A = this chain, B = another copy of it.
């Protein structure tokens, strides 16, 4: 290989490693698409590149193409994107991957890490087209897509790569081993240790954050020597296809076979996942999506490594606060952001029915509910801000969920805040819905103890704050939770809450104000604990990477190492 990519990106890798070690804020890419930072031309060029892709076959020359498929529809225009992708003959593709694999498996770990760093860098150069692609597939707003599917996702990729590097660096390349055996036996051996991949890594991406696990899974598997097949959601192929294109270009430039990274697009009518799982070479599966399929994967892929990130019913326990308006604003932002289609969106808000203590004074629960409702309305008051915050519903099914919940709550007279569409200033046809808030009690547990995907939340009145905490933590343990929040001015309650969530296998944030509480920071927040039903893997820790490769060794007498001619 002529280009030393690791040297080119060494500083970035070292910064990531340092951030992982002390968990400080770090980002390798810009989160803000503003033309004040990027100038007018770069964003415009990215948009133009996105528009060029519309209405025609996506330029991806992979082997085993058997026609074209594509069924993406923009949630902003409700029109098909008209892009087609290779329909892949999976066994034929795997044959091509088999041929590609050898030199990559044999390459030095540093070489592979360098190539992955270059891939992330190239993906960082297509943030603008990627933002438009994400927007018109997953339905995120442009600003959200630029950050969430851009810097935030790339950072997760770099974080996973840093861990892969660390785990591989833990295995020395060689060692010298000398000892006596009894009186006569003397051993003096040179030992060489080589890392070997496990097989093909299949990455199943979700519709609403298509790159959020794609980058980390790609980096973790590829850096450790495993070819990667990306299987996007049929509704959000384009962002993944852009990544696959960039990776293949880098592989070719680096002198490797581009089939080490491939795309297998599919349709809802003809899903490809089972066929990918059935290939004997598939050794690793990374999955983000629904808890039902995630848990099926965990139970039904014996002998394969399975990493899942799914969902649960994320909770807030609101016991007391110094500033009700600020607390309500923080929670309401979570209910609005990305139309609550994030894995970190709050669904269940647990409150004591007797009221919430605010600055020492007991405020009735109705007032609290009103504050939450008003805070949501506040976020939505200005149409452009509403559009940036809420984005759209990625799919009709989300609207159907909202409608079903509305009907049920209306029948019970428990709608706290009704959901309507909001006017998107740029896209009149956009599929939008503002938060539906439902008043609930523990009698509604069957309803709120499942993930209701989309902008639907429950304000659950409990007999006490401790009962609220007990319910929220039981739900985390039994139904899953990726995030949990506690608001309390009582240090003892906070301490109990932290212990209770931890005992339930959940992480918890306390008294977060003045920032988007959905935000999970690469290098700092261990995302998904693996201890509750919301997934079995963590972005990112050593366990996310250490099993993706194995170690083989050769030992030879030091006097006559293998390199030396002895015959």
Q: Are A185 and B510 in contact, CB atoms less than 8 angstroms apart?
A: no
Contact string against B for A residues 307-331, beta-carbon threshold 8 Å, 1 for contact and 0 otherwise? 0000000000000101000000000
- Tell me, yes or no, whether A270 is within 8 Å of chain B by CB: no
Contact check, B175 vs A507: say whether CB atoms are below 8 A apart.
no
Q: Chain A: interface residue count, which band?
A: 35 or more
A41-49, A189-197, A408-416 - the one binding chain B: A189-197
Indicate if the CB atoms of B550 and A542 lie closer than 8 Å.
no
CB pair A550–B562 under 8 Å, yes or no, is no
Q: A172 and B566: CB pair below 8 A? A: no
Chain B residues contacting A564 (CB-CB under 8 Å) are 491
Residues of the B chain whose Cβ atoms lie less than 8 Å from the Cβ of A567: 320, 488-493
State the CA gap A554–B187 with chains docked (Å). Answer: 51
A506 in contact (CB, < 8 A): yes
Which one of A274-282, A464-472, A522-530 is at the interface?
A522-530
Q: Is A269 an interface residue (CB 8 A)?
A: no
Q: Which residue, of A508, A556, A567, has the highest number of chain B Cβ atoms within 10 A?
A: A567
Given contact pairs A516-B185, A542-B546, A505 touches B552 in the complex (Cβ within 8 A): yes
Q: How far is the CB of A103 from chain B (nearest CB, A)?
A: 13
Which one, B507, B553, B562, contacts A526 given CB within 8 A? B553
Establish whether residues A509 and B554, one from each chain, have CB atoms under 8 Å apart when the complex forms.
yes
Binds B, one of A16-24, A90-98, A334-342: A16-24
Provide the bound-state CA to CA distance between A510 and B562, in Å.
8
Identify the stretch in A124-132, A259-267, A494-502 within 8 Å (CB) of chain B at 4 or more residues: A494-502
Q: Hey, which chain B residues are within 8 Å of A526, CB to CB?
A: 171, 193, 551-553
Question: Is B502 in contact with A24, judged by CB distance below 8 angstroms?
Answer: no
B554–A531 CB distance below 8 A: no
Question: Which residues of chain B are within 8 angstroms of A300 by Cβ–Cβ distance?
Answer: 302
A516 to B189, CA, bound (A): 13
Looking across the interface, which residue of chain B has its beta carbon closest to that of A508? Answer: B554
Contact A562 B491 (CB under 8 A): yes
> Are A556's CB and B177's CB within 8 A?
no
> Distance in Å from the Cβ of A37 to the closest Cβ of chain B?
13
A515 within 8 A of B: yes
Q: Contact check, B172 vs A21: say whether CB atoms are below 8 A apart.
A: yes
C-alpha gap A456/B32 in the complex (Å) = 70
Determine if B177 and A524 form an interchain contact, defined as CB atoms under 8 angstroms apart: yes
Provide the residues of chain B in CB contact with A189, threshold 8 Å: 512
Residues from chain B with Cβ under 8 Å of A303 in the complex: 298-299, 536
- Chain B contacts of A491 at CB under 8 A? 562-567
Partner of A562, one of B185, B495, B530: B495
Q: Is the CB of A531 within 8 A of B196?
A: yes
In contact, A176 and B24 (Cβ under 8 angstroms): yes
A176 to B179 CA separation, bound complex (whole angstroms): 47
CB atoms of B25 and A511 under 8 A apart: no
**Within residues 348 to 400 of chain A, which ones have a CB less than 8 A from any CB in chain B?**
none
Closest chain-B Cβ to A375's Cβ sits at a distance in Å of 15
A541 at the interface (CB under 8 A from B): yes
The answer to whether A417 has its CB under 8 Å from any CB of chain B is: no
Picked from B489, B492, B515, B550, the residue with its CB within 8 Å of the CB of A530 is: B550
B507 engages A552 (CB within 8 Å)? yes
Q: List 17 A-B contacts (CB under 8 A).
A: A24-B178, A25-B177, A25-B179, A170-B541, A177-B524, A181-B515, A320-B567, A491-B565, A495-B562, A498-B554, A498-B562, A507-B555, A508-B553, A510-B554, A525-B553, A529-B552, A530-B550
Chain A residues close to B by CB (< 8 Å): 21-25, 166-167, 170-172, 174-179, 181, 184-187, 189, 191-194, 196, 198, 298-303, 320, 322, 488-495, 498, 501-502, 505-516, 519, 521, 524-526, 529-531, 536, 538, 541-543, 546-547, 550-557, 560, 562-567
Q: Give 4 A-B pairs besides A25-B178, A196-B502, A494-B562 with Cβ atoms closer than 8 angstroms.
A: A185-B516, A189-B512, A299-B303, A505-B550
Q: List the 6 closest A-B pairs by CB distance, nearest first.
A: A23-B175, A489-B567, A490-B567, A542-B546, A543-B546, A299-B302
